[in-house]
Chains A and B, each alone.
Chain A
Amino acid sequence: MAGSGSAHLRPRDEVLLRVEDLVVEFPAGRGRTVRAVSGVSFDLARGETLGIVGESGCGKSSAARALVQLPPPRSGSVRLDGLELTELRGEALRRTRRRLQMIFQDPISSLNPRRRVREIVGEGPRVWDLPGDRVDEVLEAVGLDPATAAVRRPHEFSGGQCQRISIARALILDPEVVICDEPVSALDVSVQAQILGLLEDLKDRYRLTLVFIAHDLAVVKNVSDRIMVMYLGKVCELAPSADLISRPAHPYTRALIASIPGGGLDLPPADQLISGEPPSPVSPPTGCRFRTRCPRAAARCAEEEPRIRRIGADHWLACHYPETPPAPA
């Protein structure tokens, strides 16, 4: 698994965001390098939600930050509506920021404790010299009462309300793509359902394209049209959500689903599908990066990295020995 390739990308004129061969690396001290993302490609059509799922260290958050060029990726291409973001610097890059917004995991840490909600949400329009009169509108759109909420500071709100403020801050700029990096993983179940519902509503109302990153497959499935599974900086499998959950082909995807208690699916127990712990992204295994935990791994997996290939209508896989043989294309 954990393969490279871009066979799964759709024609350029059909997609809004196209990410090709993204590589993110950062120093780990003593001259070593963390290989956070190693050659990941994906794309998003306008109005689509792409879910990215994987465990800690799989590179999903690093990929999200590379999309907004904070920091820019080591190599690879990020095209927003044909515009190559990785080649832009300084003011030219700043000009594109309006179109690409982000929502973070920690609802408290992502809001400046010393500013009032009106200032936080109104920051975008002020930076862009837009009229600031939409603050009330977006606050209402995210389910907050502008009259009482706008003059308060973040610590006066609960985690769920803080996440609503973050969403309002992103929305007010009318972005085309919103990247949600674990937006609900710090929230309680009941609040999580509120935020997921809100994101779905806003997506329709503001015609958003979403990248939804989470470690919880059930949450990702709930909001995503397509799901991409990542492991140790590589893509394992990419398919429409229902398809991916009902017909997982990659051994890692299968293990992930089987590990969720009461997944209700016809899979063997997880301990037969996966063993051990993820290796360090500083020195990932050769060939397929999942092979050290894969019960199906063979000699070929250590030597040759699997390429992404098609196994169903829109079902893509990077594995030499998948459970289900690829359907004829």
Chain B
Amino acid sequence: MRRRQGLGFWLALGWIGLILLAALLADLLPFARYDETLAGPPQSGPSAAHPFGTDGLGRDVLSRVVYGARVSLGVGIGAVLLGLGIGAPLGILAGYRRKAADAVIMAVNDVAQAFPALVFALAVVAFAGANLRNVLIVLGVLGVPSWVRLIRGATLTFAEREFVLAARVLGTRDRRILWREIVPNVAVPAASYAFIGMAVVVVAEGSLAFLGLSVQAPTPTWGGLINEGRTLMETAPHVVLAPSIAMFLTVLSFNLVGDRLRSLTDVRESGLEPVRQAAPALPATTHPVRDVLLQVEDLRTHFVTPRGLVKAVDGVSFTLERGRTLAIVGESGSGKSMLIRSILGLLPGTSVRGGNVYLAGDDLTSYTAAEMRSVLGPRLGTVFQDPMTALNPVRTIGTQVMEPLRVHMSLTRRQARAEAAKLLASVGIPDPVRILRRYPHQLSGGMRQRVTIAMALSCRPDVLFADEPTTALDVTIQDQVLRLLHRQREERDMAVVLVSHDLSVVARWADEVIVMYAGKVVERGPAAEVFARPRMPYTEALLQAAPRLTDPVHHRLRVIPGRPPDLVDLPEGCAFRARCAYADERCEREAPPLFEDGHDRRRYACWHPRTQAQDGTAAAPSSDVTDVAEGAESGGR
């Protein structure tokens, strides 16, 4: 995938190319030799004959800077290649082989890191002679420990990936695994380090030269030029500025290229991440307020991605009353999690929200950030999917559970602690006082999810939003957590919004269901009715695609061909039509509205709804034909 690297990257690469070329062709360039004294009047400023002026002995500064680049770049490139040549094989070996080889290499590396590198560079060069070869070797060797560490780290991250295991299962020999599976992946970060390494070496060589410990006069070096120019600072500042600027630009360019290359390391982007660009604003609206706890009207959430505008939530409406559970069902990318975040106002900065959310008649979408904060917690509670990431790893359970109590309910520390212990006990955590002093990593996943539920309940919210609360948990723990949520709803007379991809969970615990597809509601109604008699073909297919314990063994599941639509490039008409067995021309032209079915709460969006009497299984179209369809469109994007 080609990605824009930005102007800076190309400028930096251009500068490196330019200076490299100049250094190589220095002998052919039309200026005085670097050691020709009195090529012009001493200490003269920039002029046509001497663009960078002359130094104290009347030597051409430009010439000296260009010849100095030979040393700087030569040492920079040479030392990095040397360090890479020694360090990379050791790093790969340590990272891939592990065990003994790793232990030995890393122990040696530990010692090498404690070694005062610069002092040794100084000592070796001072004693063994200050020439290009010695400087290059010393700086190269001193870089080896870093190279070993970096390459080992990069190797480790890939050696643990399953594709390496897969290669070994195939019977691939180690040598081939290293070359084919590991090296190509390590190469990109290594190239990035190489450029940053060159920046480091150029500076180090400059430091040595500055101390008079690099290539000796008359050969000019940048560090040496700066050191010489220092004495003329007051009378001829250009003598010191010219090499300083050259050096600065070169180091900057190496750093910049290295930094940009590192961003290439991640090849796993979907192109659907929000970018820093606001989506077109949506018009402000109001709707008649109804006498319910939570009323969502025509809610929309749009954001801009590198590939285009995504309408993550596209006109969702529903109402919810106390003591009820509303489930939002859909596959990944259907917008169900985005809907929750949209209601709560927790969207990424650049996304744009339209429509209205009324909580007991108050329009939350008109609230300021500060007003919204007084609602989040006390009136709206939230539980997320992964209990491993839902708690702050560096704060105790007690601090985290007590925080909303202290912030929103202004309890004293002592009161908050007592209340937190009560809360933990109420969600079934044994020995709560002890748990308050623990850190999240000391608790199991199930216990952590109980803690996050306790936190969400702490300020007695009216509505609890639970986004896939049990997806990361084992099935026996899932049952416990769902029971807990249900019991709390009863005790506190709350409403619950449960987001889930698991139809059996929804069927068991929800009163009402919303089925989402590509950001839109495609069906909604009382859970029992929707599951017994789905009207929208997608709902029907989803129900038949999920395996059930009651199905016979080797039962062929309904296959929904193809895959969810590309949110950036939604088709005209019904978003599901490409995968739908009943689709016709009308579905291509016109998006179906939400039709009412019998009563106000039961709705579906389809031109060809399944009829009430229909036996779902019999009506399922033959799946054999459609199975390859996903492959056929595998060209995808």
Could you tell me which A residues sit within 8 Å of B by CB distance?
A: 55-56, 65, 68, 70, 94-95, 97-98, 100-102, 104-106, 108-115, 123-124, 127-128, 140, 142-145, 148-149, 153, 155-158, 160-161, 164, 166, 169-170, 173, 188-194, 196-198, 200-201, 215-219, 221-225, 241-242, 245, 255-265, 270-271, 274, 277-278
How far in angstroms is the closest Cβ of chain B from A55? 4
Pick from A102, A115, A200, A258: contact of B169, CB under 8 Å: A102
Q: A84 CA to B29 CA in the complex, in Å?
A: 73
How many residues of chain B have a CB within 8 Å of chain A? 74
Q: Is B550's CB under 8 angstroms from A193's CB?
A: no
Pick from A105, A193, A277: contact of B446, CB under 8 Å: A277
Q: A8 CA to B544 CA in the complex, in Å?
A: 35
Pick out which of these stretches binds chain A: B223-231, B367-375, B408-416, B626-634.
B626-634
Pick from B446, B477, B542, B556: contact of A200, CB under 8 Å: B556
How far in angstroms is the closest Cβ of chain B from A38? 19
Q: Is A164's CB under 8 angstroms from B637's CB?
A: no
Pick from A97, A101, A263: contact of B549, CB under 8 Å: A263
Q: Is A158's CB under 8 angstroms from B167's CB?
A: no
Q: Is A259's CB under 8 angstroms from B476's CB?
A: yes
Chain B contacts for A113, CB-based, 8 A = 185, 267-268
Q: Is A112's CB under 8 angstroms from B163's CB?
A: yes
Answer whether residue B518 sits at the interface, using C-beta atoms and an 8 A cutoff. no
Say yes or no: A256-B627 contact (C-beta < 8 A), given A113-B268, A114-B267, A190-B542: no
Say yes or no: A259-B169 contact (C-beta < 8 A), given A106-B162, A157-B636, A197-B623: no
Q: Is A200's CB under 8 angstroms from B166's CB?
A: no
Q: Is B476's CB under 8 angstroms from A255's CB?
A: yes
Pick from B331, B508, B554: contact of A261, CB under 8 Å: B508
Q: Is B169's CB under 8 angstroms from A143's CB?
A: no
Say yes or no: A215-B475 contact (C-beta < 8 A), given A160-B563, A242-B553: yes
Answer whether residue B406 sits at the interface, using C-beta atoms and an 8 A cutoff. no
Chain B contacts for A260, CB-based, 8 A = 475, 504, 549
Chain B contacts for A153, CB-based, 8 A = 267
Q: A242 CA to B483 CA in the complex, in Å?
A: 28
Q: Is B181's CB under 8 angstroms from A193's CB?
A: no
Q: A160 CA to B256 CA in the complex, in Å?
A: 38
Q: A257 CA to B480 CA in the complex, in Å?
A: 14
Q: A270 CA to B166 CA in the complex, in Å?
A: 38
Return 12 A-B CB contacts under 8 Å, by A number: A94-B173, A102-B169, A105-B162, A123-B172, A124-B171, A143-B627, A143-B630, A148-B634, A155-B267, A190-B560, A194-B630, A262-B508
Smallest Cβ-Cβ distance to A259: which chain B residue:
B479
Q: Is A115's CB under 8 angstroms from B180's CB?
A: yes
Answer whether residue B558 sits at the interface, using C-beta atoms and an 8 A cutoff. yes
Chain A contacts for B553, CB-based, 8 A = 221-222, 224-225, 241-242
Q: Is B479's CB under 8 angstroms from A104's CB?
A: no
Q: A112 CA to B275 CA in the complex, in Å?
A: 27
Answer whether residue B586 sits at the interface, using C-beta atoms and an 8 A cutoff. no
Chain A contacts for B476, CB-based, 8 A = 55, 255-256, 259, 270, 274
Answer whether residue B431 sits at the interface, using C-beta atoms and an 8 A cutoff. no
Smallest Cβ-Cβ distance to B628: which chain A residue:
A143
How far in angstroms is the closest Cβ of chain A from B486? 11
Smallest Cβ-Cβ distance to B633: which chain A residue:
A145
Say yes or no: A161-B630 contact (C-beta < 8 A), given A123-B172, A196-B547: yes
Q: Is A145's CB under 8 angstroms from B542's CB?
A: no
How far in angstroms is the closest Cβ of chain A from B446? 5
Name 16 extra pairs, CB < 8 A, besides A164-B631, A191-B563.
A55-B474, A55-B476, A108-B268, A112-B181, A113-B267, A149-B634, A190-B331, A190-B563, A196-B557, A197-B557, A215-B474, A224-B553, A261-B482, A261-B502, A265-B549, A278-B474
Q: Is B548's CB under 8 angstroms from A264's CB?
A: yes
Chain A contacts for B546, CB-based, 8 A = 189, 193, 218
Answer whether residue B1 sits at the interface, using C-beta atoms and an 8 A cutoff. yes
Chain B contacts for A224, CB-based, 8 A = 553
Answer whether residue B13 sits at the interface, using C-beta atoms and an 8 A cutoff. no
Q: Which of B608-637 contact A (CB under 8 A)?
A: 623, 627-628, 630-632, 634-637
Say yes or no: A70-B548 contact (C-beta < 8 A), given A149-B631, A157-B634: no
Q: Is B268's CB under 8 angstroms from A145's CB?
A: no
Q: Is A218's CB under 8 angstroms from B547's CB?
A: yes
Answer whether residue B501 sits at the interface, using C-beta atoms and an 8 A cutoff. yes
Q: Which of B528-564 contact A (CB under 8 A)?
A: 541-542, 545-561, 563-564
Chain B contacts for A65, CB-based, 8 A = 165
Chain A contacts for B555, CB-based, 8 A = 222
Q: Which of B347-384 contact A (CB under 8 A)?
A: none
Chain B contacts for A140, CB-based, 8 A = 631
Smallest Cβ-Cβ distance to B483: which chain A residue:
A271
Smallest Cβ-Cβ distance to A127: which chain B residue:
B172
Q: Is A110's CB under 8 angstroms from B547's CB?
A: no
Q: Is A109's CB under 8 angstroms from B162's CB?
A: yes
Interface centre among A127, A156, A170, A224 (most CB of B within 10 A): A127
- Residue interface bits B554-584, CB-to-A below 8 A is 1, else 0: 1111111101100000000000000000000
Chain B contacts for A70, CB-based, 8 A = 165, 168-169
Answer whether residue B161 sits at the interface, using C-beta atoms and an 8 A cutoff. yes
Answer whether residue B444 sits at the interface, using C-beta atoms and an 8 A cutoff. yes
Pick from B171, B332, B503, B634: contact of A94, CB under 8 Å: B171
How far in angstroms is the closest Cβ of chain B from A121? 10
User: What are the 4 A-B residue pairs with the smallest beta carbon separation, nearest first?
Assistant: A261-B508, A97-B171, A55-B474, A143-B631
Chain A contacts for B550, CB-based, 8 A = 263-265
Interface centre among B482, B503, B559 (most CB of A within 10 A): B559
Smallest Cβ-Cβ distance to B626: which chain A residue:
A194
Q: Is A198's CB under 8 angstroms from B479's CB?
A: no
Chain A contacts for B509, CB-based, 8 A = 261
Say yes or no: A271-B479 contact (C-beta < 8 A), given A108-B268, A109-B163, A190-B331: yes
Answer whether residue B447 sits at the interface, using C-beta atoms and an 8 A cutoff. yes
Q: A225 CA to B268 CA in the complex, in Å?
A: 37
Smallest Cβ-Cβ distance to B168: which chain A residue:
A70
Q: Which of B130-184 contact A (CB under 8 A)?
A: 161-163, 165-173, 176, 180-181, 184
Chain A contacts for B627, CB-based, 8 A = 143, 194, 197-198, 201
Q: Is A128's CB under 8 angstroms from B171's CB?
A: yes
Q: A102 CA to B477 CA in the complex, in Å?
A: 29
How far in angstroms is the closest Cβ of chain A from B485? 13
Q: Is B548's CB under 8 angstroms from A218's CB?
A: yes
Answer whether residue B478 sits at the interface, using C-beta atoms and an 8 A cutoff. yes
Q: Is B169's CB under 8 angstroms from A109's CB?
A: no
Pick from A115, A145, A259: contact of B478, CB under 8 Å: A259
Smallest Cβ-Cβ distance to A243: which chain B residue:
B553
Q: Is A270's CB under 8 angstroms from B549's CB?
A: no
Q: A22 CA to B170 CA in the complex, in Å?
A: 23
Q: A241 CA to B446 CA in the complex, in Å?
A: 29
Pick from B162, B170, B331: contact of A127, CB under 8 Å: B170
Pick from B166, B547, B556, B636: contact of A221, CB under 8 Å: B547
Q: Is B163's CB under 8 angstroms from A110's CB?
A: yes
Q: A108 CA to B166 CA in the complex, in Å?
A: 12
Interface centre among B478, B479, B502, B556 (most CB of A within 10 A): B479
Q: Is A145's CB under 8 angstroms from B632's CB?
A: yes
Chain B contacts for A56, CB-based, 8 A = 474
Q: Is B631's CB under 8 angstroms from A97's CB?
A: no
Chain B contacts for A198, CB-based, 8 A = 627
Q: Is A262's CB under 8 angstroms from B478's CB?
A: no
- Residue interface bits B24-45, CB-to-A below 8 A is 1, else 0: 0000000000000000000000
Q: A242 CA to B555 CA in the complex, in Å?
A: 11
Q: Is A189's CB under 8 angstroms from B542's CB?
A: yes
Q: Is B167's CB under 8 angstroms from A123's CB?
A: yes
Smallest Cβ-Cβ distance to A218: which chain B residue:
B547
Smallest Cβ-Cβ distance to B472: which chain A residue:
A56
Answer whether residue B338 sits at the interface, using C-beta atoms and an 8 A cutoff. no
How far in angstroms is the closest Cβ of chain B from A120? 8
Q: A191 CA to B505 CA in the complex, in Å?
A: 19
Q: A200 CA to B554 CA in the complex, in Å?
A: 8
Say yes or no: A55-B475 contact (C-beta < 8 A), given A70-B168, A189-B331: yes
